């Protein structure tokens, strides 16, 4: 009997069988991205927006709720498969991967670890079924100093009133569910920070300015405005005053997601560079035949493989319950550097064509820069690594 299944069916089936073949799963995600996302990449970059129809396809495929248990509408798979999905999507468009990354490694991950049975029952099916999530920690004066929050929460008994502004919030335009950090006791420092689940239609909540960015432009980055925002007490995530633990542990895992994004991006740039050097002819032969070009390609591929192994190692350690703080910092640090170098090389190999928007590598070059900034700058990763090594 002929096989009437589609590539999308294969991806969905691989999710529901817990991805026994990880390579097949990764290839299936990449094929979906190549078919459904690649034709939209330039338009999304120019317009700075992701079509809702594409977001719906991501939900239909199950990659917006990879770790969510099947009982709550998710794929019931592992953290490692979320990492593979982010990597595969980033080969085509890191902007889409950013949305999937935040949804899985930050928002859903925080709910799975810290959510009460009530919060899990209310929000995981929603986040698996069509609601985009966002993670709101950063503020204008609290970037690397993440816990210098000015947003505050006043305890009103059965609810809290949140006031303040959040900045640089990924998925801000699309999200319906937000994890927002505010302090209930400014005098307590970081021990006053509490995490709250806020819905888009809660009174006093609004989305402000959308940033006009250098790269990953289709991924929205927005300001959030809290004006006496009313949040039920039952929507506290974790314990009151323990929001710093939610933030630290979630961001440690999120850094592995950024590492996956960067290696996927670097692989996409390398793919383009290899294909172009075989096609571009100078002095009577393909430029891939010149030893200088061959050596540059070989070096980029070697760096990329090293970065990939670092990302996978950090993910495996996390799954095994082993310490992974140093490994997560290392993989984010190194993969972001590899992505910047690799995309720069691709632009160089394309020559003049690499500098114009008609060809894909200039976008990947712009997209790569953020890897050294968000979810902990490279200097912060170096600090974390040094502390782990030196005690």
DSSP strand E in the chain: where?
A: 132-136, 152-155, 159-170, 175-183, 193-199, 205-210, 221-232, 236-237, 281-282, 285-286
CATH number of 245-390: 1.20.140.10
Alpha helices per DSSP H over 94-158: 94-101, 109-114, 117-129
Q: Give the Cβ contact number of residue 140 at 10 Å.
A: 11
Helix%, strand%, coil% for the chain, nearest 5: 60, 15, 25
* CATH 2.40.110.10 domain residues, the chain: 134-241
**Tokens at 137, concatenated:** 């920690």
Residue 346 · residue 364 · CB < 8 Å: yes
* CATH 1.10.540.10 domain residues, the chain: 7-131
* 24-27: Cβ within 8 A, 24+ apart: 25/81, 25/84, 25/85, 26/84, 26/85, 26/87, 26/88, 27/88
pLDDT single digits (tens) 246-275: 999 999 999 999 999 999 999 999 999 999
Q: For residues 100 and 87, give the distance between their C-alpha atoms in angstroms, rounded to a whole number.
A: 10
Instruction: Report the SS3 class of residue 280.
Output: coil
Catalytic residue of the set 139, 327, 362, 375: 375
User: What does the pLDDT read at residue 15?
Assistant: 55
Residue 343 · residue 368 · CB < 8 Å: yes
pLDDT single digits (tens) 212-258: 999 999 999 999 999 999 999 999 999 999 999 999 999 999 999 99
User: What does the pLDDT read at residue 19?
Assistant: 45
**Tokens at 206, concatenated:** 């609004």
* CATH 1.20.140.10 domain residues, the chain: 245-390
Low-confidence ranges of the chain (pLDDT < 70): 1-20
User: What does the pLDDT read at residue 6?
Assistant: 58
The secondary structure of 21-56 as a DSSP string is SHHHHHHHHHHHIIIIIGGGHHHHHHHT---HHHHH
Q: Which residues are registered as beta bridge partners of 361?
A: none
pLDDT single digits (tens) 191-209: 999 999 999 999 999 999 9
Cβ neighbours of residue 221 under 8 Å, at least 6 residues apart?
Answer: 168, 169, 170, 172, 210, 211, 213
CATH 1.10.357.10 is right for the domain spanning 7-131: no
User: What does the pLDDT read at residue 147?
Assistant: 83
Residue 375 appears among annotated catalytic residues: yes
Instruction: Report the SS3 class of residue 217.
Output: coil
CATH 2.40.110.10 is right for the domain spanning 134-241: yes
Q: For residues 11 and 19, give the distance between their C-alpha atoms in angstroms, rounded to a whole number.
A: 9
DSSP symbol at 289: G
Global pTM value: 0.94
């Amino acid at each position: 009997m002929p096989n009437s299944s589609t590539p999308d069916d294969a991806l969905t089936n691989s999710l529901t069988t817990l991805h026994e073949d990880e390579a097949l799963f990764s290839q299936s995600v990449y094929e979906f991205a190549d078919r459904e996302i690649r034709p939209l990449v330039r338009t999304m970059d120019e317009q700075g927006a992701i079509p809702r129809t594409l977001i719906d396809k991501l939900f239909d495929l199950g990659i917006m709720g990879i770790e969510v248990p099947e009982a709550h509408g998710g794929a019931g798979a592992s953290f490692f498969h979320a990492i593979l999905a982010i990597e595969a999507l980033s080969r085509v468009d890191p902007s889409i991967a950013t949305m999937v990354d935040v949804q899985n490694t930050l928002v859903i991950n925080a709910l799975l670890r810290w959510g009460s049975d009530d919060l899990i029952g209310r929000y995981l099916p929603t986040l698996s079924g069509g609601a985009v999530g966002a993670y709101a920690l950063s503020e204008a004066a609290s970037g690397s100093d993440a816990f210098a929050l000015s947003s505050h929460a006043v305890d009103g008994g059965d609810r809290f009133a949140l006031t303040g502004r959040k900045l640089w919030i990924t998925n801000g335009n699309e999200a319906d569910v937000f994890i927002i950090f505010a302090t209930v006791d400014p005098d307590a420092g970081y021990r006053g920070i509490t995490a709250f689940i806020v819905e888009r239609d809660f009174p006093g909540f609004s989305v402000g300015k959308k940033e006009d960015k250098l790269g990953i432009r289709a991924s929205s980055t927005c300001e959030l405005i809290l004006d006496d925002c009313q949040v039920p007490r039952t929507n506290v995530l974790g314990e009151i005053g323990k929001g710093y633990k939610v933030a630290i542990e979630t961001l440690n895992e999120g850094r592995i997601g950024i590492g996956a994004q960067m290696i996927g991006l670097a692989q996409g740039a390398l793919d383009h560079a290899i294909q172009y050097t075989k096609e571009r002819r100078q002095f009577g032969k393909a430029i891939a035949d010149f030893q200088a070009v061959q050596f540059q390609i070989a070096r980029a591929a070697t760096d990329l493989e090293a970065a990939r192994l670092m990302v996978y190692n950090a993910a495996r350690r996390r799954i095994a319950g082993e310490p992974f703080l140093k490994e997560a910092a290392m993989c984010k640090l190194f993969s972001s550097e590899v992505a910047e170098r690799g995309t720069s090389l691709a632009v160089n190999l394309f020559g003049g064509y690499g500098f114009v928007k008609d060809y894909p590598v200039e976008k990947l070059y712009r997209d790569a820069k953020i890897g050294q900034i968000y979810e902990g700058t490279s200097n912060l990763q170096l600090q974390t690594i040094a502390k782990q090594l030196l005690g």
